[in-house]
Amino acid sequence: MERHTVVVEGTLAFRMQRVAAAQAGDHGLDVATVPLLAARLAGGFSRPADHATLVPIVARALAEITFEELEKVKARPGMARAVLSSLERVWAADIRLFDPLNPSARLSDLGHIEAFLREHLPTGALLPVDLRDRAIARIDHARTVVGPLHLHRLVSVDPLWRPLVGALASVIEITWDAPGTRDRSWFPGKILARPLQRPEQLICEVCADPRAEVVEALRWARALLSDGVTQASDIAIASADLSVWDDHMLVLAADADLPIHFAGGVSALSTRAGQTCAALADAMINGLSQDRIRRLSQLSPYLSEALPTDWMKGISTEAGLFEPEHWAKSLETLSPADGPPIATIVMPVLYDLVDGAKAAVKLGKLLLRGSSFGLWQEALRLAPAAAMEMTLTSLRIADERDPANNVVWARAADLVGAPRKHMRLLGLSSRSWPRGGNADPLLPEHVLNERELVDLPRLERDRLAFEILTGHPDSKVTLSRSRRSAEGAFIAKSGLLQRQVAERPLSRTRAPEHAFSEGDRLLARAEDALALPRIQSVISCWTDWTRRLETTPHDGGFRKDHPTVLRALSLPQSATSLRRLLRDPLGYVWLRVLGMTAPELAIQPLQLDAMTFGELVHELLRLAVERMPSLVSATPDEIDTALEAAANTIAEHWPLTRAVPPRLLWLDTIEEARRRARRGLTVDDRFGPGTHSFSEVPFGTPESQAKRSDPWREEQEVLIGRFRILLKGRIDRVDVKPDRRGVRMSDYKTGKTPRDLRDVILAGGAEVQRALYAVTIKQLIPEASTIISRLVYLDTMEPPARLEGDVLEQAEETLLRFIDIAVEGLTGGIAFPGPDAFAGYNQLRIALPAALDRYQGRKDEGFNAAQHKLAPLWRER
């Protein structure tokens, strides 16, 4: 067995050469890169110091050394990586940092860091310059260790390694399969130059945007594979820089189920290990929340093993839990049947998370395992822990698929070392190919001439890659570019596309000969899609929404006396649900019958929404009244004391059940709620001498409140209308005269006072509390002959809006008549959108057609006709 060595550049060429050696049974072949070749020749377990080893040492050097020029910027984020990048360029160019002929404070600073690296590198790890010198010192062993040497499709060799190549040429035979036309007069061996073949006619397909480019590339690959002759190993897709297309390729390739190997690796965040790191970084940097801890507990190996699967079952899903104290109180009662209490496992982790980036190392060791822990350590080596979220987006993991039997997605520079029969080059636009030069931020032109620093600039490397790939004699090349960027900006074609390159525009909606996936096939072939029942249903629905003026089954409605509707109507109704029934019958069906409730996301708000703030005020009123012996005889000081105690209770317990603002804003919110609650408790004088006043009075509920003194039995049923609808609720305040013949009801409102409040009676069905509660009081206090029903807006000192006498009687009759109409229509299967369906505050709008204004204008007449008995209510004042 004769030992011989092939030197390649890039992981794709490395793996393909090993496959070729295995297929040929070449047992004496050693495949290596130039640094690995030098390490083998240097011997003694020598190895090139890798990036992961060098970055933390550079960071230490920046912290411990005092510099002449870099001192002011050495603590900037990302400085360690920037310094290492500059050093790698200096090493590749074989430049001496302490050159007496070229004295420079900047180079001197970098030289001190280089010396620090030499002193602190682990045993066996060498800097490139030292590795080269040690390899040259052992050049006599090259015939045995290396054997005949072949440089396979290397575009160039850095000046750093040229002395080693020259020394090897004096001992062993060296050949170079050198692509392109670059000057290689320095090379002492034999060049096996194969002339590039001038492409006869290149075609550049012009696509809409980067995603469309990927779609067309996958269609092209599918078409090649469908001929029964072309193998996946014959196909490659490439671009000068993959970043613009990589995410699209990852998603669409998975949808297409095509065998594609990502030569540059896949994004770490596309793997479970990466998502585990992302969950930890999110909680560590952005703070505690129930959503973040739930996600982390599901992904973290430590927490998923130590905790039961349903450990958060006893915690309200609406609770924000943004502080460790909130978690401690919520976890007090949670304890599994066997094992330690939940708090003993979770709370130490939460306290570490509160420490933020300072605890990054400790958190990684505790919560992560295996590949996720390795990613976490790599991210910490590359940048500070505070930048973990950004660092994780840049990490990549080697693709487990073998390039030998898969389509390859690679950088053009990598594909130069392993070209294929069929290659498609993406991104031939002025922005992407060729790319502009990348000047070194620490070694600008006035410090070091760029020609001395960079042997082959990026612009020239991209031009050479295009020239080599399009001129490869055994390959067929297809080009593509985008008309616009992902942001919509117009993009000009690349300067590499000469006149002999013809362009073929590809419409985004064209019907391809070969679709890359099932979804693509159905989009391209309408007749196939129309044959599917689900597509027929969608088209029928869209046609009914957009082309027909009359109501259709897709606009609402159902069969008469539907059992689910009857069951929902048999349950107790609140004033809010009856308002929805009157103003939006279809929304009532969605919410009350089908249970289409929107999920509550526990995101920390800066302020409470109007509905939640109203709940806060009413809860404050309820707790304050419970703390007072008598609302009627309470003095202002007693009211203030009760409100203060109620506010303290809410401040402590509300964060355990729902999301509240940050502490300072939360306390200010409670203070505003307290001010409005005091207005509700002291709004006016007593309702005559001897009046009994009650606050937050429930009715129609079988659950009895302990130690309450109410003007009626709260479990007593309240039945309204012809259909005997059960009514339940809570009246904010009830004032009852001693003889119970006079009753005044007050409904508190925390919203903004309407301008025309005095003229409002039913407001088209939007204001139903006063009339409904008057009906309720008549049933619960039948001896009452005088009833006053009021709206009290707590944001103003204006007097309440009253309904009484004949006006109230008329409002009650009108409301009950329309409730009967609405219930009759619902049992008859008539349920279409009403005025509230199109209001901006309606959360169910998302279930209606997207073009809502046009849909309303087109269908409004049909809705009113179908609900002609109910529609007059919407015009009531």
Dump pLDDT digits (tens) for 586-636: 999 999 888 887 666 556 677 787 778 888 888 888 888 777 766 666 777
User: Given pLDDT bands bounded at 50, 70 and 90, which one contains residue 387?
Assistant: confident
pLDDT in tens, 409-460: 999 999 999 999 999 999 999 888 888 877 778 888 777 777 778 888 888 8
124 close to 47: Cβ distance less than 8 angstroms: yes
**Cross-strand bridge partners of residue 503:** 204
* 8, 187, 258, 266, 805 from 423: Cα distances, Å: 20, 30, 16, 20, 87
What is the spatial distance between Cα 585 and Cα 576, in angstroms, rounded to a whole number?
13
Distance between CA atoms of residues 875 and 770, nearest Å: 18
Q: Hey, which residues does 175 pair with through a beta bridge?
A: 150, 190
Can you give the C-alpha Rg of the chain in angstroms? Answer: 38
Task: List the single range of 97-111, 666-680, 685-699, 818-832 with lowest mean pLDDT.
Answer: 685-699
Q: CA-CA distances (angstroms) from residue 805 to 541, 691, 755, 787?
A: 50, 20, 23, 8
- Helices 105-120/51-64 angle, 10° precision: 120
Residues 151-165 have a mean pLDDT of 91
CA distances from 725 to 566, 573, 715, 772 (A): 11, 7, 15, 12
Q: What is the pLDDT of residue 632?
A: 63
Nearest CA-CA partner of 683 in 672, 695, 699: 695
**Cα–Cα distances in angstroms (integers) from residue 637 to residues 53, 670, 678, 689, in the given order:** 70, 19, 11, 22
Q: Which residue has the tokens 């297809």?
A: 478
State residue 610's pLDDT score: 79
Structural element, H or E, at residue 725:
strand 725-726
pTM, two decimal places: 0.77
- And the tokens for 306? 């130590």
DSSP string over 474-504:
T-EEEEEEESB-TTS-B-PBPTT--TTEEEE
Question: How many whole angstroms separate alpha carbon 371 and alpha carbon 837?
Answer: 50
pLDDT for residue 705 = 53
Give residue-wise pLDDT tens across range 701-726: 876 554 566 788 877 889 998 999 99
411 DSSP β-pair partners: 239
- The token pair that represents 65 in the structure block: 């050394």
The confidence score (pLDDT) of residue 133 equals 92
Q: What are phi and psi of 507, to 5 degrees?
A: -75, 145
Least confident of 136-145, 179-188, 578-587, 780-789: 179-188
- What is the average pLDDT score of the chain? 86
pLDDT for the residue 6 = 92
CA distance 558 to 550: 16
Spatial contact of 319 and 326, defined as CB atoms under 8 Å apart: yes
Whether 292 contacts 322, CB under 8 Å:
no
Please state, in angstroms and as integers, the Cα–Cα distance from residue 110 to each residue in 91, 163, 382, 448, 450, following that order: 11, 23, 19, 13, 17
Structure tokens at 253: 């390739």
Maximum CA extent, the chain: 121
Whole-number Å distance between alpha carbons of 215 and 509: 11
The H or E element containing residue 533 is helix 533-546
Q: Which of 494-503, 711-720, 856-865 has the lowest mean pLDDT?
A: 494-503
- To the nearest 10 degrees (0 to 180), the angle between helices 210-225 and 243-256 is 40
Q: What is the DSSP letter of 185?
A: T
**Does residue 689 have a cis bond before it (omega within 30 degrees)?**
no
Cα-based torsion angle of the residue sequence 761, 767, 773, 779 in order, rounded to the nearest 10 degrees? 70
Write the CB contacts of 838 (distance below 8 Å, at least 6 apart in sequence): 845, 848, 852, 853, 856
pLDDT value at residue 527 = 83
Contact 163/136 with Cβ under 8 angstroms?
yes
For residues 677 and 748, give the distance between their C-alpha atoms in angstroms, rounded to a whole number.
9
Say which residue the tokens 């509240």 belong to: 660
89 sits in which H/E element:
helix 79-92
What pLDDT score does 604 carry?
A: 67
CA proximity to 302, closest of 270, 279, 321, 334: 279
Q: What is the pLDDT of residue 686?
A: 59
User: 436-440, 737-741, 778-782: which range is least confident on average?
Assistant: 436-440
